[in-house]
Amino acid sequence: MSGVDQDFLRNLKDKVNIVEVAESYFSLEKRGGSYWACCPFHHEKTPSFAINEAGQYYHCFGCGESGDVIKFVCEMESVDFIEGVKMLADRAKIPMPAFDGDSGRTAELKRKKDAILKILNQTAHFYLKNLNSGKADAHIEYINNRRIPVGVVRAFGLGASLNYDDLPRFLLANGHSKQDIIDSGVVNENGGRLTDAQGGRLIFPIINSLGEVIAFGGRVLRPTNFAKYVNTRDTMVFTKRKNLYNINLLKKLKREQTIREVIMVEGYMDTISLYQAGFKNVVASMGTSLTQDQARLIKRYTDTVLISYDGDAAGQKANIRGLDILKDEGLNVRVVPLPEGLDPDDVIKKLGNDAYRKCLDSALPLIDYKLEVLRKEYDLEKTEDKRKFVAEALKVINAADSNAEKEDLLKRLRTMSGISYESLKRDLETNTAERPAKPAPQPEKRDDNADAIKLASRFVISSFLFNADESREAELSEIEFADPVHAIIAKYIQSKQMMEEPVHLSELFEFFDENTPEYEELTHILDYSEGGGFTGEVAHKYFNDCLIKLKLAAVDGLIKEYTRQLDASADLAERARIGEKIVELTRQKQKIRNGVKL
């Protein structure tokens, strides 16, 4: 189905260790036979994401995400299966075999994506050539005025669009279809005419973590009625809310050193200015409201993000919702205070690198920042304003994670408002008492509406799969599984037993397609990889109880079928024979309940 030779895939997975691959994204802690971390696919404070090195697979006991090393890379890098395989093959220094591809729509989508990426790459080189052509005086003047050195221009791949017509002609001359050029987002079509979507602008290529050009940003060079900055519209390879500017160089930096924190700015020039000043751990949201996808992208590199947006007060309140999104994804969010009216580029240019470093060192925790934003909304010299401010501030403080943090914030509020600490504390306690208590957080419930038989089947098959002690006195071949997923896994285990080979859990992910009920059932089975909470005699008893349930269910199935035949038969001899079978099966049920081995 993947179009890649299965023997190659098995060889590839033998060459790469999922633990080593995962450690290139985040830290792992070894506990027992597994490696643990907070799940990269959902927010949690207690690690429930486990990597089984022996089985070469991962499983989250919170959200249920599971897979082998190929799926892990695809999820972490937001790439498709083939690209994930290519990344691992490059890592293992194994040449990729010829790709046959899938027929139909899948093959067309791959062709389209490859064509668009090629167009974007050629467009980036076209813009770069323009910048060095001697015809881009206005672009060079802007770069010089912003004091961007040649090395940084090259690092970011800056380029120039000279007009609206050259780029479409260039791409058509290079054999690209009109529709692919339009779908790439680099041109617009109006009345049948193709025009450069960034016509006349200074060009900022947007490059993903794989080093692929996926879009462009463009800045006007002269006063105009048009927007100062324009980004490529969303395409099949670019969604603005899922990307961050400079993520490619941040990934390169991570290979060279540990990234303790990432600085988040709004735009291209802020990013470039900080980068050339030595603050290379910087990315930009490209002016968009912060999103969950961007938060998860940052989490691949660090747990701490410093928000360094413009210093004006106007947009600060609007930023808070985006910052809460980052916090909800488990990031430690701190907000960098900048002088009023200045952006990071201004601070670097006018006040110097040391001044900006001091701003970073003064970064406020998110909750403190919320208080500061609130304070600027009200005139605390006016009694009514002060009361409103205190009421809103207490709501903010009440959301603090600890009593110690609340105490510290109340002291700060006392300084801001001039109201005694004792009064503020009483009001906070009163507000807390009046507000309905939040229900205690419950662990994420993974189980579906599975009946007792399915639950029993999961535990039994997982016991054999993970070679649990309780399974060693039972014969897998004697157990009937109604669910086809359980039956497939049982046959796989038996085949390995016959050949006296170890079970390779990563192979199980090749049996079932993702996003199917079968794959989901596999993840439920993996929930029992740590014993499902049962150990020792309890596990043995539960295993035997499950076996009895399954055996009784198998006999009940036969009784039901014979009863159907009995009702349908008019032949007295045939009815007598069927009746005898039902009586015998009923005796078998009693023996099973009494623990008699059949």
pLDDT tens-digit readout, 501-540: 877 778 888 888 777 888 888 888 888 876 666 667 888 8
160 forms beta bridges with 202
Half-sphere exposure of 236 (CA within 13 A, CB side): 17
Name, of 246-250, 335-339, 439-443, the range with top average pLDDT. 246-250
Q: What is the CATH number that goes with domain 6-92?
A: 3.90.580.10
Give pLDDT, residue 205. Answer: 98
CA 546 from centre of chain? 36
**Coil vs helix vs strand at 564:** helix
> Is residue 172 over pLDDT 90?
yes
In this prediction the pTM is 0.67
Give pLDDT, residue 100. Answer: 55
What's the CATH architecture for 247-370?
3-Layer(aba) Sandwich (3.40)
Average pLDDT of the chain, as a whole number: 86
Among the listed residues 532, 552, 551, 529, the one whose alpha carbon sits nearest the alpha carbon of residue 542: 532
Query: Does the domain at residues 105-238 carry the CATH identifier 1.10.287.1080?
Result: no
Task: Select the more confidently predicted residue: 294 or 97.
Answer: 294
Give pLDDT, residue 362. Answer: 93
Give me the percent of the chain exceeding a pLDDT of 70. 91
Give the H or E element holding residue 244.
Answer: none
286: left (phi over 0), alpha (psi -120 to 50) or beta: left
Task: Select the more confidently predicted residue: 264 or 497.
Answer: 264
> Is residue 550 over pLDDT 60?
yes
Give pLDDT, residue 130. Answer: 97
Which tokens belong to 36?
Answer: 């643990």
pLDDT (tens digit per residue) in 451-483: 888 889 999 998 888 888 878 878 888 888 988
67 forms beta bridges with 58
pLDDT (tens digit per residue) in 311-343: 655 455 556 778 888 888 888 999 998 888 888
Q: How far apart are CA 46 and CA 564, in angstroms?
A: 52
Which tokens belong to 468?
Answer: 């649990």
Residue 598: band (very low, low, confident or very high) from pLDDT cuts 50, 70, 90: low
> Is residue 3 over pLDDT 70?
no
Give pLDDT, residue 532. Answer: 62
Give pLDDT, residue 477. Answer: 86
Give pLDDT, residue 443. Answer: 38
Q: How far apart are CA 103 and CA 424, in angstroms?
A: 69
pLDDT (tens digit per residue) in 77-111: 777 788 888 889 988 898 887 655 555 566 777 78
Residue 433: band (very low, low, confident or very high) from pLDDT cuts 50, 70, 90: low
> Is residue 442 over pLDDT 50?
no
Q: List the chain domain ranges.
A: 6-92, 105-238, 247-370, 378-434, 452-593
Give pLDDT, residue 79. Answer: 76
Q: How far apart are the first and last CA of the chain?
A: 43
Give pLDDT, residue 536. Answer: 76
